[in-house]
């Protein structure tokens, strides 16, 4: 799907090795489509910021090409690129008022005073700071300062807005509100957003597409649902949401079927042809828990309950079926019956459908 549209950012085989010898980005290729909300997701230190800073022009790729809007960025200085950035620290100039901060980019462009004043007001209204133009940055809260940084970047009408962990400095409540706000903003202005985050919930809830990175390498690029339901490797499966994993051995039978044998689940047949060590995975909410042995085309195993954690709307039930770790099942508390109704130590069956099972070869 991505290749069908015309990408605004095209990254081909980009590598970045820092002078100290750290290889922060390793042969990354990806496209960002016009108008989409794209997220770079990965654990701390995996190279997200480095990749974003290469797009902004603050780091020079060791090798590879970067095209923005069809133009090769190799010799384009940061101040000449059609992108703007919201810094993790916001970098709101402390010696300028809010309005001066927001108008800075236009002043550099040499726009007339009147136009600057109008567009500053417009940009401040957009981020709901319309009444605070005269304030100095240290009279603002963290959330407000971030909005100033947003307005300051958006007023330049960039082709792409780059955001480095924009929500990480905010408290949980504000963060959730800002997630919604950012999505609204992106829809309003129609500008492509590339956001860096280490928070999978943030990426899943905001982005159209997500690139999951690990140690400088992009592991998978996909939409939120596809990432969650069809991760292509253990790392992505484990990083996005919770998953139960079972190690096993696969043997392809040559006609599009693979037999996977795991110590706790026995032999199960899947589509595809994999050979060698694999992991079977299943998401906790797809696991059913029952007292009686379930029937049908299911993967099932029995064991004692080791733990029950109650979360209000749902409960987490851990059942030890003899695998490395107890199986986690998320049980929706759909009825007013004081929890899931199981007890610690009780022997229970866990089961899930074969088609809900992931076969992970890497």
Partner 1 sequence: MEHWRKSAGAFWAGFLPPTLWLLAFFFVPLSLIWAFSFGEKSGIIDIDLVWTFENYARALEPLYLGIFAKSLWMATITTFICLLVGFPVAIGIVFAPPKMRMWLLLLVILPFWTNLLIRTYALIAVLRTRGHVNFALEWMWDHANSFLTLIGLGSFSLLGERFEPLQMLYNNTAVVIGLVYVGLPFMVLPLYAALDRLDRSYIEASLDLGAGHIRTFWSVVVPLALPGIASGIVITFIPTLGSFLTPDLLGGPDSQMIANVIERQFKSANHWPFGSALSFLLMYATFFGLAVRALMSRNEQRGIR
Ligand X SMILES: Nc1ncnc2c1ncn2[C@@H]1O[C@H](COP(=O)(O)OP(=O)(O)O)[C@@H](O)[C@H]1O
Contact yes or no for 247/324 (Cβ under 8 A): yes
Query: 40 or 92, CB closer to Mg ion?
Result: 40
Q: Is 50 in the site for Mg ion (CB under 5 A)?
A: no
Residue for token digits 């109704």? 341
234, 249, 274 from 266: Cα distances, Å:
21, 11, 17
The answer to whether 242 touches 200, Cβ cutoff 8 Å, is no
Inter-CA distances, 352 with 244, 287, 340, Å: 11, 5, 18
Among the listed residues 26, 50, 84, 244, the single contact to partner 1 using CB under 8 A: 84
Binding residues among 2-41 for partner 1 as defined by CB under 8 A: 19
When binding is defined by CB under 6 A, the residue of 14, 30, 46, 204 that contacts ligand X is: 46
State in angstroms the smallest separation of the CB of 263 from ligand X.
36
- What DSSP assignment string belongs to 118-172? HHHHHHHHHTT-TT-TT--GGGS-HHHHHHHHHHHHHTT--SEEEEESTTTTS-H
Q: Is 309 in the site for ligand X (CB under 6 A)?
A: no
d(CA 146, CA 92): 8
CB of 18 or CB of 93, closer to ligand X:
18
Among positions 91-150, residues that touch partner 1 (CB under 8 A) are 91, 93-95, 104-105, 108-109, 136, 138-139
Residues 137-158 as b or e (16 or more Cβ within 10 Å = b) = beebeebbbbbbbbbbbbbbeb
Element (H, E) at 221: strand 217-222
358/230 Cα distance (integer angstroms): 7
Residues between 38 and 77 with contacts to partner 1, criterion CB under 8 A = 56, 58, 77
**Site for Mg ion contains 49 (CB under 5 A):** yes
In angstroms, give the least distance from the CB of 163 to ligand X: 12
**48 contacts ligand X (rule: CB under 6 A):** yes
CB closer to Mg ion, 49 vs 232? 49
CB of 36 to Mg ion, least distance (A): 21
Q: Which residues bind ligand X (CB under 6 A)?
A: 18, 20, 22, 24, 42, 44-50
Q: Which residues bind Mg ion (CB under 5 A)?
A: 49
Q: Which residues bind partner 1 (CB under 8 A)?
A: 19, 56, 58, 77-80, 84-85, 87-89, 91, 93-95, 104-105, 108-109, 136, 138-139, 152-153, 156
């Amino acid at each position: 799907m991505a290749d069908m549209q015309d990408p605004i950012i095209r990254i081909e085989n980009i590598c970045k090795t820092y002078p100290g010898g750290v290889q922060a980005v390793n042969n990354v290729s990806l496209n960002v489509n016009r108008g989409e909300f794209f997220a770079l997701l990965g654990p701390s230190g995996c190279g997200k910021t480095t990749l974003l800073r290469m797009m902004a022009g603050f780091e020079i790729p060791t090798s590879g090409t970067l095209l923005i809007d069809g133009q090769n960025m190799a010799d384009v200085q940061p101040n000449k690129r059609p992108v703007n950035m919201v810094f993790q620290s916001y970098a709101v100039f402390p010696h300028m008022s809010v309005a001066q901060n927001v108008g800075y980019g236009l002043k550099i462009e040499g726009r007339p005073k009147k136009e600057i004043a109008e567009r500053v007001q417009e940009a401040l209204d957009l981020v709901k700071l319309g009444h605070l133009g005269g304030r100095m940055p240290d009279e603002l809260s963290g959330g407000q300062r971030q909005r100033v940084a947003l307005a300051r970047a958006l007023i330049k009408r960039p082709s792409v807005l780059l955001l480095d962990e924009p929500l990480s400095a905010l408290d949980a409540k504000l963060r959730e509100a800002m997630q919604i706000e950012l999505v609204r903003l992106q829809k309003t202005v129609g500008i492509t957003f590339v956001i860096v985050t280490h928070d999978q919930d943030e990426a899943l809830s905001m982005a159209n597409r997500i690139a999951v990175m690990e140690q400088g390498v992009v592991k998978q690029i996909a939409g939120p649902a596809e990432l969650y339901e069809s991760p292509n490797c253990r790392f992505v499966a484990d990083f996005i949401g919770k998953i139960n994993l079972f190690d096993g051995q696969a043997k392809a039978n040559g006609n599009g079927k693979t037999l996977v044998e795991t110590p706790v689940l026995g032999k199960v047949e899947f589509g595809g042809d994999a050979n060698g060590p694999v992991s079977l995975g299943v998401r906790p909410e797809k696991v059913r828990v029952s007292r009686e042995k379930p029937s049908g085309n299911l993967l099932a195993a029995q064991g004692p309950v080791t733990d029950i954690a109650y979360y209000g709307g749902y409960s987490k039930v851990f059942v030890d079926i003899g695998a490395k770790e107890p199986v986690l099942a998320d049980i929706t508390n759909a009825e007013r019956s004081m929890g899931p109704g199981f007890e610690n130590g009780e022997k229970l069956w866990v089961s899930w459908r074969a088609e809900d099972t992931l076969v992970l070869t890497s």
